[in-house]
Amino acid sequence: MFNSTALADRTILVTGASSGLGRATCVVLSQLGARVIAVGRDEGRLIETAEQLEGNGHLVRPFDLSNVNDIPPWMKSLATDHGPLLGVVHSAGQHLARPLQMLKPDAVQELMQVNVTAGMMLAKGLRQRGVHESPASIVFLSSVMGQVGQAGVSAYCASKGAVDAMTRSLALELAPQGIRVNAVAPGQVETEMLDQQKQTLTAEQFDRIKAMHPLGLGQPEDVAHAIAFLLADTSRWINGTTLTVDGGYTIH
């Protein structure tokens, strides 16, 4: 049974907390009694997230995750100041819809930096002595796009396939430290990222994607609850897996 007190008073760092799934995750975790460290670049929007949280002691920490070398020392200083973390949720991410003939290496690299390399450096940061509790848990945001293909989205799909592969290997590597590593793979959820994607699609293309979701498009809370489950000790024997949360998109 899901232990609703498992996250009470535990500290969890959530990236992408200024928007969409990251923001919803912060809200759900705060409702479960956790203390949230909300991370993103836009301080104003992080403060908006903090204003929606239940309980006290939440922190807003603006940080540009494309500065990947700085992530482990920054996490060390967070833990020194605020205590060890129960977990990390890496919900910061970028999307790129670009046909191959228009795809530039710099744009691919920027996307990979945030979606993949930053996730790896967050795991590296968490494994340091004094930074994590034991047991601890990492949840990466993958996507159904790591499992299926979509024309014009190859860089994004590649990044999410990499997240799934990284999840399996890090789960093996960090198990001796008591750190579990899992991912969630959402289908289309109604966030700003979806608004951004809509601009690159015709109404017919969007309706087709919508129709591929037997339970309709997701809401951010649908994904946030799955993330909370993977953080809590109710999922203590789940490791190295990608949990698909897509309203049935991938069962076609």
Ligand X SMILES: NC(=O)c1ccc[n+]([C@@H]2O[C@H](COP(=O)([O-])OP(=O)(O)OC[C@H]3O[C@@H](n4cnc5c(N)ncnc54)[C@H](OP(=O)(O)O)[C@@H]3O)[C@@H](O)[C@H]2O)c1
For the segment 135-164, give every residue that binds ligand X (CB under 6 A): 141, 143
- Our finding on whether 21 is near ligand X (CB under 6 A) is yes
User: Shortest Cβ distance from residue 137 to ligand X (Å)?
Assistant: 17
Window contacting ligand X (CB under 6 A); options: 41-49, 51-59, 71-79, 168-176: 41-49
Helices 220-231 & 20-31 angle (0-180, nearest 10): 50
User: Shortest Cβ distance from residue 176 to ligand X (Å)?
Assistant: 28
In this structure, the dihedral spanned by the alpha carbons of residues 221, 26, 166 and 239, taken in order and rounded to 10 degrees, is: -70
Spatial separation of the C-alpha atoms in residues 178 and 190, rounded to whole Å: 34
In this structure, the dihedral spanned by the alpha carbons of residues 219, 234, 174 and 135, taken in order and rounded to 10 degrees, is: 120
Name the DSSP letter for residue 143: -
In this structure, the dihedral spanned by the alpha carbons of residues 242, 93, 15 and 239, taken in order and rounded to 10 degrees, is: 10
Query: Can you tell me which of 11, 19, 117, 239 binds ligand X, judged by CB under 6 A?
Result: 19
- Our finding on whether 167 is near ligand X (CB under 6 A) is no
Decide if 156 is catalytic.
yes
Three-point CA angle 208, 139, 189, nearest 5°: 20
Determine which one of 14, 156, 163, 174 is catalytic. 156
Of the pair 173, 192, the CB lying nearest ligand X is at 192
**What are the catalytic residues?**
156
Residues forming the site for ligand X (CB under 6 A): 15-16, 18-22, 40-42, 45, 64-66, 91-95, 114, 141, 143, 186, 188-189, 191-194
